[in-house]
Amino acid sequence: MKRILIAECAQEIASFNPIQSQLDSFRLSTPAELFDEHRPLRTSIAGALRQFDTRKDIELVAGFGASSITSGGLTSKSAWEFISKNILDSIRAAGKIDAIYFSLHGAMGADGELDPEGYLLVETRKIVGEEIPIVASFDLHGVITDPVLRNCNAIVLYHTYPHIDLYETGERAARLLLKILDGEAKPVTARVRIPALVRGDELKTKTGCFGERVSETVAIENSAKGLSGGIFIGNPFTDVPDLASNVIVCTNDDEQLARESAERIAADFWRDRAKMQAFLTPVKEAVNQACDAYATKGGTTILVDAADATSSGACGDSNVVFAELMAQGFSGTSLVAITDAPAVAAAFKAGVGAKITTKIGGSMDPRYTPIEVTGIVHMLSDGEFNNEVEGEPWHAGNCAVLKIANFTVILMSKPVSLHNRSLFYAHGQDPKKFDLVIVKSPHCQDHMYLTWATTYINVDAPGATSANLKSLGHTICKRPVFPLDDGVQFTPEAVIYRR
């Protein structure tokens, strides 16, 4: 029997969020809990388990798991120390193992450790030695580093954005690890670092030019000599030294194929860098357009406030677009989500049906100014519901639905991801029944909003996750990098990794 250990550490942070992520920001799984928690879900670990379960000669060993409930600010020192210690202790406690699958993210950052994934892999090697094969899976928004690539035999990453292939990524990682374990694969990885940060609609892999580049890496992965491939576009909101885009091609002992393919794809990616930027409309203009659309076209207008995207690491407490809608007198029905624990507490104290006056917005991020509103408490909840896509439980803390004239505002005590409609549905609100919805996510799956909305506007609002990248204030990442700097030069040059 071959013993394979599975462990997890996954979080995406936004360095520009002033609130650090604490331990309660994570779903923590002891070794006794890890497999049972993942098997019913559509996560990477669930996909890996399905593949490993097909083998009668494999014994699975659970390690410790930590996965963020939603993205947030830099992980606190105490939270990181707890998570890293428990993961490494679980590896020590596993006894003799033959291989490891690590489910990671890549865009994590902790107070005192800006490369948590690299740290875990370096320390894991100290425990298990240099011969044990390790395969890790990543989000394509990961920030890939030398310590990661030096200490993994191979890596795999998501091929889709918006992400719909978490489960499949776990399956691919498991198949690759088994091939290595069976002596059928000798991975050689080419990595080309590209000094570019990208955002915008062209990153949607189904329709954008980024998807064309990803498809090229997928074709290599699926070829006779291919093992894995993909493109990391990093997370521009995670200000860490290695922030950049990267092409990864891993082949079965064919260095030339890996090198030439990675360099060619990186050159094409660089050519399209300007196209892969967001096109944004200033707040006042966006709201004015929404007013015109309501008056002339009807249907539903979507105002995308990606600068306050909780799934990217923002607090979710921006009231900027909401305040402008009120200032311009937007009279259609509107659906809004805002993180504001004090406002929720006020609603709970008053009770359903009560009329309250409270301040909302700006309770966490000081760049926003709280505004006073008066409304009726329509609904109260414990904020416990399931993600409509992967099915895992989400925890928004106590929530309140406040009716403020023509505005329906869902107030959360804790940020949860807003890249789908789960929060809205959990509180009885169907976006299709509103004249306007503020969506705090850069991209959702098209069927959620884009395919049926009458008007769709990407707003240039302030926030920790603004696609207006020059507004953020990077101080740590390696420079120069496009588009933060002018005149950036790039010649594709692969670095080769093999164990």
Side-chain-facing half-sphere of 460: CA atoms under 13 Å: 13
Question: Hey, what are 194's tokens?
Answer: 């590209």
Q: Is 294:301 a contact under the CB 8 Å cutoff?
A: yes
d(CA 344, CA 337): 12
d(CA 396, CA 69): 9
Which pLDDT tens digit goes with each residue over 357-387? 999 999 999 999 999 999 999 999 999 999 8
Beta bridge partners of 250: 189, 228
Q: Is 211:205 a contact under the CB 8 Å cutoff?
A: yes
* Residue linked to tokens 């885009």: 245
In this structure, what are the phi and psi dihedrals at residue 457, rounded to the nearest 5 degrees? -130, 125
Report, as an integer, the average pLDDT of 341-368: 98
* Residue linked to tokens 């909401």: 322
Task: Give me the percent of the chain exceeding a pLDDT of 90.
Answer: 97
Report, as an integer, the average pLDDT of 147-165: 97
In this structure, what are the phi and psi dihedrals at residue 303, rounded to the nearest 5 degrees? -105, 115
Q: Tell me: pLDDT of 440 over 90.
A: yes
Which pLDDT tens digit goes with each residue over 207-245? 999 999 999 999 999 999 999 999 999 999 999 999 999
Rg of the Cα trace of the chain?
23
Instruction: Look over the chain and give the mean of its residue pLDDT values, rounded to a whole number.
Output: 97
Side-chain-facing half-sphere of 13: CA atoms under 13 Å: 31
Which of 455, 485, 159, 30 minimizes the C-alpha distance to 281? 455
Helix/strand/coil percentages in the chain, nearest 5: 30, 25, 45
pLDDT at 433: 97
pLDDT at 390: 78
Question: 67 Cβ partners below 8 Å, 6+ apart?
Answer: 8, 9, 10, 11, 26, 27, 29, 103
Q: Is 279 exposed, middle or buried (0-12, 13-18, 19+ CB in 10 A)?
A: exposed
